[in-house]
Amino acid sequence: MRFIIRRLGFYAVAAWFALTVNFFIPRALPGNAVQALMAKYQNLQPQAMKALEIQFGTGHQGSIFHQYYVYLGNMLSGNLGTSVSYSPASVVSVLRSTLPWTVALVGTATIIAFTLGTLLGIIAAWRRGGWLDRSLPAFTFIQATPYFFLALLLIELLSLKLHVFPFAGGFTLGDTPGWNWTFIGSALYHSILPATTIVVTSMAGWMLQMRNVMITTIGEDYVLAAQAKGLSPRRIMFTYAARNAILPNIAGFALAIGFVVAGALIMEFVFSYPGVGLTLYNAVVSDDYALIQGVFLVIAFAVLLACLLADIVYVIADPRARREAAY
């Protein structure tokens, strides 16, 4: 319990630091969204510009400490500001409409890649010298391949030449978003190529990491003792060797889950997928600082929450960590 309290204190300080950095970074950038939005208009009255800056929160009213106080109050009340690049609309509503796309696609693809990569790493280490272990150079090449490059290859082959999958969008134009089988089927169909890109390029990393740690674990005394007792190879592989070797992968998986909220920026841009990554790109292009702040804030808190859950799971899974946490 003391361990959890200590970690909560640490993450509370980290959350405050993230809030503070998120406040100062946009204010260090030149210009603001209202200036970018109204630059095309002529004879704009200064009073109108001032009113728009107040409405969208891009102006600098009062001292920097007063702005920081107002900013913290807005964050605590859930007011992330107004986006000028979407209608305009509140940042919360924009994130509410784009987050499910990214979480569903990138989250599912990350879980699949982690599961497949970890299992393949366990098998490759346990059957060292087998065909899967000898295929490591190919997996290393896949890991080093930029996912956006693979995405472009898949679009060229499967979309433009073979016309098997669509190359852009999250669903078919004309479909009404909702919980109906037509829309769900269309969304799944459009997500196949982006999901395949993420799974293929990230699975190799999980496999290589698991394989390397697993090889070291197999040589430990407790694994040799289990073999000497005559236990089944499957039980030794999963219960004794893999259970301890997977701990570094669990920590990496927690961070990967935290960054799911960030999406895959270039991948979503390549496929024009309506997720957080594409939203962040549009916000940067439009100088939509309120939306940029909102996206960064959600990403930061998602990563902090994932790290906290990883600490808890690590303590539960590893008796040595439980013993250290008790002090």
Domains of the chain, residue spans:
99-287
For 27, 264, 272, the CA distances from 269, given in Å and listed in that order, are 26, 8, 5
High-pLDDT (> 70) share of the chain, %: 83
User: Which fold does the domain 99-287 belong to in CATH?
Assistant: MetI-like fold (1.10.3720)
CA distance linking residue 88 with residue 56, whole number of Å: 9
| Coil/strand/helix, residue 219 | coil
Which ranges in 77-180 belong to alpha helices (H)?
91-102, 108-126, 131-134, 136-144, 147-154
- pLDDT-based confidence at 118, cuts 50/70/90? very high
Give the residue, 295 or 43, on which the prediction is more confident.
295
Q: Tell me if 326 sits within 8 A of 48, measured CB to CB.
A: no
141-163: pLDDT as tens digits:
887 888 788 888 888 888 888 88
Amino acid at the residue 224:
L
Q: What is the DSSP string of 64-94?
A: HHHHHHHHHHHHHTT---EESSSSSEEHHHH
Q: Is the pLDDT of residue 312 over 80?
A: no
Q: Is the pLDDT of residue 242 over 70?
A: yes
Tokens representing 309? 């859950």
Q: What was the pLDDT predicted at 119?
A: 92
High-pLDDT (> 90) share of the chain, %: 3
15-41: pLDDT as tens digits:
889 888 888 877 776 665 556 556 545
What lies within 8 Å, CB to CB, of 281 at 6+ separation is 265, 268, 269
Which ranges in the chain belong to alpha helices (H)?
2-27, 33-38, 46-56, 64-76, 91-102, 108-126, 131-134, 136-144, 147-154, 181-218, 221-228, 233-235, 243-245, 247-258, 265-271, 276-285, 289-317, 319-325
179-209: pLDDT as tens digits:
778 888 888 888 888 888 888 888 888 998 8
Q: Is the pLDDT of residue 55 over 60?
A: no
Work out the mean pLDDT of the chain and round it to a whole number.
80
